[in-house]
Every structure is written in structure tokens, then in C-alpha cells.
Structure 1
Amino acid sequence: MTKKYIRNIRLSFGISILILLISSIASYFSITKLLESEKWVSHTFQVIDKLDFIVSRMKDAETGQRGFLLTGDKVFLEPYTGSQNEVAAALEAVSGLTIDNSVQQQDIPVLEQMIDQKYTLIKKTIVDKERGIPVTEPILLQGKEIMDGIRVQVIKMEVAENQLLLRRQKELKKFITYTPIFVAIGAILSLLITGFFYNRIQRNLDENSKLEQDLNVKNQTTQKEIEEITKMAKKISEGNYSARIDNSDS
């Protein structure tokens, strides 16, 4: 019984530790994926934010250009001044953030080319204005077409990022749902295993206790028999043979 008792304890601890280990690994994997998904969601928002910034600064530059062309006052060029470097930096950031996205990497050069064309045209109109050369309607329409193309290209890239974001949010939701389930299942299994082996160990203890009681009773009975036999043997050795007969009769 002792070996059986020890075996149950070892088995109980072994299975409980195994369940705990599996549960911990599953939880760790789920939490890791959760953090990874959260990182990608943040990454997608960064890309969209940079693309929005590009359009915003391009619109500011265009607004400054129009103000200068109407008034000739260079104060209107403040939004334009420095915006080209800011837009270039934002575009470079988008390129770095989407380095693993082949579709976006193909779209970036297209956007970059249109941005360069737009700034080249803005600069030309400013120089022409300073020289007293009238800015023609075809030039302004060309600038509008380029800006419309920039908006369309940015929208296309943002749609792609939003679709990617939806997939990542779906994956994030999945891991948010499954992580507590893994933990709960592991906890429940551990409790069930612990309860099962507790009952087995308790049953073994009860069996051992009953066996010990039976052995005590048997030992007491045997001891009494030994005492009776000893007494009888002593009487016989003293020549009292009737004790033997009386005992046999009894």
C-alpha cells in the first residue's frame, strides 16, 4: 500500500505539472501573438497617419502657392517653405514601415514621382510670378490634376493598409478571445486532476487506516492466544495436565 500511495502522489504531481506546463506554454504563445498583433495594429495606424500627413502638407503648400499667386506677398509661402522636406521625410517613413509589403513598395515610387512633379510645378509658378510672367490656366489645371492623382494614390495605399488593419484586428480579436480560454481550461484541468488524485490518495489513506486497524485487532488476538498458550504450557510443565484438557474442551 505504501508503494501505491507514493505512486499516486507522484502521478498526481506529474500530471498536474504537465497540465500546468501545457497551459503555461499555450498562454505564453497566445499572449505573445496578442502583443505581436497589437504591434501590427499600431504599425498600420502609423502608416495611415504618415500618408495623411503627406496629403495635408501638400495641401498647405498648394494653398500657400495660390495665396502668393493672387497677392504676390511671400508671407503666403510660409506653409510651402520646408514642407517639401517634411513630405520627403514622411514618405521615407512610410517606405520603412511598409518594407515587408511588396504592394506598398511598388506604390511608393509612383506617389514619390507625383509629389516631385507637384513641387516642381509649384516652384515654377512661384518663379514665374516673381519674374512677372503670367501663370496660365493650363499650368494651374496641370497642378490640380497632379494633386488629384496624389490624393487617389494615397487613398489607394490607405485602403490597402485599412484592409491589412482589418485582418490584423481580426487576428487580435481571436487571440484576445482564446487567451483567457486557454488559461481557464488549464486551471480547470489542474483542479480536476488535483481533485481526482486527492480522492485516490484519500481512499488509499482510508484503506491503509482500515488495514492498520485490522492488523491491530489481529495482533491483539494473536497476543491473547500467545498469552493463553504460555499460561497453558506453564501449567503443563508443572504437571497440571487437566489444564490442557480443560483448554481443549473450551
Structure 2
Amino acid sequence: MTSFKSSRIQLIFIIAAALLLLLSVFSYLRINNLTKTSEWVNHTTLVKLQLNNIYISTYEAEADSRGFVLTKDPIYLERMRHNLFVLDSQKVYLRELIKDNFSQRQNFRKLDSILNKRVTFMKDIVNDSPLGKIPKERWLKGRKIMIDLRSHVNHMVTEEDMQYKLRNKTLVEQTVLTPLFSIFLTFLSLLILVTSYLIIFRELRISNQLKTDLESSRQHLLESNKSLLEKNASLDAMNKELESFTYISSHDLQEPLRKIQTFISRIGEDSANSFTESSANYLNRTQEAARRMQNLIQDLLAYSRVKKEVFLFEKYSFRELVNEVTEELSEEIELNASKITTEGNDEIEVIPVQFRQLLINLISNAIKFKAEGVTPKIKVRHEIVDHVSLNDETQYGTFSKMTVSDNGIGIEPQYQKRIFEVFQRLHTKEEYSGTGVGLAIVKKIIENHNGFIDIESKPGKGSSFIVYWPITLAG
């Protein structure tokens, strides 16, 4: 019985709250409509005021031009220029005010034309004044333009007055109707509240049936969730089998490939003198293809080995890790006369074997994709930041930020996301060697560190690969 009463009270409360909310919404809409109508009335006043300001600025500029012609005092010339500058800003503001009014936009075009004629006339009078006396006919021409301007301004003001009357009439109506509408909504709310109270008993009678249906739905949902978990487990097992298959297949392919390379080398050594130029070319191309295949298999093996759960996070000196990588790449660095600088002495928390591979791939890429005739300059920098902004989203926390910058060929914007996908190459193998897997490995490694990677690049200016990962990962 207590439960019955509680449910009934809750239902009545919900209905009452909903009615109050509905009343508030409708009242808000009416008040908002009233406010907008009032704003339109004020808008009309602003347009009229701006039209008057435009006429005043033009009139003052004209007076200054006459003063300069008569006295040759540069103060008048400076004041004329100032008034013309103010006139331009007033025109911009007026155009913005009437952008929703087609008729006034048409009127503004004519107004702008008259103003341009008047401004041109003033400038010509000022420029010609040192040459001698200005003929009376020219002054009369300027006066006619001002008369046309005043007439057109009055026309636009008259049109705004007509709109003012209509809008003010609407405002008066809204002021009267809004309170009446609020009273009507109040009575309507009471009527609905009473009706809700009367039908509450019918709703309660079917509550038991609803509970039964709800229990049935819950059981169905549990069964669906169980089935989904089983499918996810099956899919996870298939993914692990696929990764294992990729690793084993790639590993087993290396042995026959090494034999192929050995046999090709022996054929080249034993029969070098008997080969034609074409045959020797085919043999060299075959050996190069085998070498590229071996590099691809090694990259695939590296990609498949990047598994987070296999390795532990360790604290490591950032500068020491970079030095180890540059030492490993010393031959490549010396061959390309590359200059590498390191900034940052922080201790970082990473999976060393993976992060070392990440640095190798990024620095190797920076050396490989150098600009022609330019000495590769690579900067590896680490810092601690308290937030990360990426893809218009900001995450707060303590992050390690590593930037690998170069002065290489750069990357077009439309390709900057694509390069992190497996087998995606932006250049032919004749232009730049590689397998298209290196940056995919970099992305997978940083994902294992719960981090992410971004790129900033301009073609011909170089690239910056920016890596973020949380400071505390272990524990």
C-alpha cells in the first residue's frame, strides 16, 4: 500500500513539473517574441539615426572642402578627410542594419551612388583649387548633388517611418496579448493537472503488467549481452590468431628469401662475364626486388611484434635514449651529413625497446626525405605539458610531449593523415626507398603508450611529428 501511494505521488509530481515547464516554455516564447518586436522598433530608430549621421558627415565634409578652397588652410582639408573616413564607417554600419530589408538595400545602392558622386566632387574641387577660381557652375552642380542626397535620405527615412508604425502596432498588440496568454496557460495547466490525477488510477492498474514486460525485456537484454560478449571473445581470438599467422608467415618467408638472394649473388659472381647487358640488368632488378621484399617482411614482423602487454614501462633518460638511437644511426647520419640536436633532460616513462624503434623510424624518415641540396637538420625536443589540444579538443593532465622536426620536403595537407596507415606511400620507390610501414609502427607504438601523434608540415619547409603520452602509465 505504501508503494502504491508513493508511485501515485511521484506520478502527480512529474506531471505537475512537466506542466510548469511547459508553461515556462510558452511564457518564454511569448516574452521572447515581445522582446524581438521591441528590438525591431529600436532597429528602425537606429536606421533613421544612421541616415541622419550620414547626411551630417557629408554636409560637414562639404563645408570643410569649401573652407579649404576659400582659405587654403590645411586644417579644413584634414577635417574633410576625417569626416569622409567617418562617413565610410557609417555606410558600413547602415548596410549591416538594413541587410534584411530588400527595399532599403535597393535604396542604399542609390544612396551610395549619390555619396560617391559627392565625395568625388569634393575631392576634385580641393585638387583644382590651387589652379584658380572655381566656376559658379561647378558649385551649383555640387549643390544639386546635396539636394539629391537630402531628398533620398528623406525617402529612406519615410520608408523607415512606415515600418516603425507597423512594428509599433505589433508591439502594442504583443504587450496586450502576452499577459492574457499567460493566464490562459495557467488555467490550461490546472485542467491538465486534474485530468492527470483522474487517469492515474488507470495507469496504476496496468503497472503490474508493465513490470512483467520490463522483466521480460531485461532477460532478453541479458541474453543479448551474453551473446555479444561471446562474439567479442570469438573475434578477439580470431584477431590473435591472425596476428600469430602474420608473424609466423613473415618469419618463415625470410629463410627462402635469403636463399633466393644467396643464389642470385652466386649466379652474379659465377656468370658475370657471360651475361649480356640486358641479363645483368634483369639480375640486378631481381636482387633489388628481393631486398625490398626482405625489408617489407622485417617491417611486417616489427609491426606484428608491437604488443603492449608483452613489455613493461620503465623510467629512462630522454637524452640517453636519443643518444642511443643516433649512435645506432651514425652511419646513415654521417652519409647524409645530417645535424641532430636534442633538447630536454627529463626522465620519461616508456617501453624502451618500442620507444627506441619509434625514434629510429622518425629520425630515419627525417634523413630520408631531405630536400635536394639541403643539409638535413633534425631537432628532437621533449617537454612536460599540462594539456593537449588536438582536433579541436583539449585534454588536461600531465603529458610528455616530444617533437621531431626537420627541414625536409614536407607533406601536403591532404596526405598528412594517410601516412600513418600501413603500406601508404606518397612517393615511388625510385624517388625514396621504404615499405610504407614505418610510420604505422610509430602510431601503434604511441597508442601502446596511451598516447597519440600529430603532424605539422608545409611542403618545401619541413615537418614536425608531435607525440603526446601521459606521464604516469605504470602502476
Pairwise TM-score range, normalised by the shorter structure: 0.5 to 0.7
CA apart distance, 1:196: 11
CA apart distance, 1:148: 0.8
Is the contact made by 1:98 and 1:104 (CA closer than 8 Å) also made in structure 2? yes
Pair 106,190 (structure 1): closer, same or farther in 2 beyond 3 Å: closer
Q: How does 1:167-182 map to 2 (within 5 A)?
A: 167-182=166-181
CA apart distance, 1:195: 9.7
Is the contact made by 1:19 and 1:186 (CA closer than 8 Å) also made in structure 2? no
Q: Which residue of 2 aligns with 1:126?
A: 126
CA apart distance, 1:53: 1.1
Q: Which residue of 1 aligns with 2:36?
A: 36
SS of residue matched to 2:79:
coil
SS of residue matched to 1:135:
coil
Is the contact made by 2:40 and 2:167 (CA closer than 8 Å) also made in structure 1? yes
Aligned: 1:110 with 2:131: no
What whole-Å deviation, never above 9, does each CA across 1:126-147 have from its counterpart, x for those lacking one? 122123x211111011001101
Q: How does 1:118-157 map to 2 (within 5 A)?
A: 118-131=118-131, 133-157=132-156
Aligned: 1:52 with 2:43: no
In 1, Cα distance between equivalents of 2:92 and 2:191: 56
Q: Which residue of 2 aligns with 1:80?
A: 80
Q: How many residues were matched structurally?
A: 193
CA apart distance, 1:30: 1.0
In 2, Cα distance between equivalents of 1:77 and 1:55: 19
CA apart distance, 1:71: 2.2
In 2, Cα distance between equivalents of 1:71 and 1:56: 22
In 1, Cα distance between equivalents of 2:104 and 2:130: 39
Name the aligned partner's letter for residue 140 of structure 2.
L
Is the contact made by 2:68 and 2:74 (CA closer than 8 Å) also made in structure 1? yes
Is the contact made by 1:47 and 1:97 (CA closer than 8 Å) also made in structure 2? yes
Gapped runs of 5+ residues in structure 2? 1-8, 199-475
What whole-Å deviation, never above 9, does each CA across 1:111-161 have from its counterpart, x for those lacking one? 111111111111111122123x21111101100110111111111111112
Taking structure 2 as the reference length, the TM-score comes to 0.36
In 1, Cα distance between equivalents of 2:170 and 2:160: 15
In 2, Cα distance between equivalents of 1:116 and 1:197: 69
CA apart distance, 1:103: 0.8
CA apart distance, 1:192: 8.0
In 2, Cα distance between equivalents of 1:110 and 1:129: 29
Higher strand share: 2
What whole-Å deviation, never above 9, does each CA across 1:160-211 have from its counterpart, x for those lacking one? 122212222221221111111122333456568889999x9xxxxxxxxxxx
What whole-Å deviation, never above 9, does each CA across 1:51-88 have from its counterpart, x for those lacking one? 11110100101111222222222223343122222212
Q: Which residue of 2 aligns with 1:185?
A: 184
Is the contact made by 2:15 and 2:196 (CA closer than 8 Å) also made in structure 1? no
Gapped runs of 5+ residues in structure 1? 1-8, 201-250
Q: Which residue of 1 aligns with 2:376?
A: none
Pair 75,14 (structure 1): closer, same or farther in 2 beyond 3 Å: closer
In 2, Cα distance between equivalents of 1:98 and 1:124: 31
Q: Which residue of 2 aligns with 1:245?
A: none
CA apart distance, 1:12: 8.6
Is the contact made by 1:20 and 1:186 (CA closer than 8 Å) also made in structure 2? no
Higher helix share: 1
In 1, Cα distance between equivalents of 2:191 and 2:102: 50
Q: How does 1:5-16 map to 2 (within 5 A)?
A: none
Percent identical pairs in the alignment equals 30
In 2, Cα distance between equivalents of 1:196 and 1:104: 53
Name the aligned partner's letter for residue 46 of structure 2.
Q
Is the contact made by 2:23 and 2:189 (CA closer than 8 Å) also made in structure 1? no
In 2, Cα distance between equivalents of 1:86 and 1:127: 21
In 1, Cα distance between equivalents of 2:21 and 2:187: 14
CA apart distance, 1:27: 1.7
Query: What value does the CA root-mean-square deviation take over the aligned residues?
Result: 3.2
In 1, Cα distance between equivalents of 2:196 and 2:126: 86
Name the aligned partner's letter for residue 175 of structure 1.
Q
Comparing 72-81 and 103-112, the one that deviates more: 72-81
What whole-Å deviation, never above 9, does each CA across 1:8-35 have from its counterpart, x for those lacking one? x999989977865664443222112112
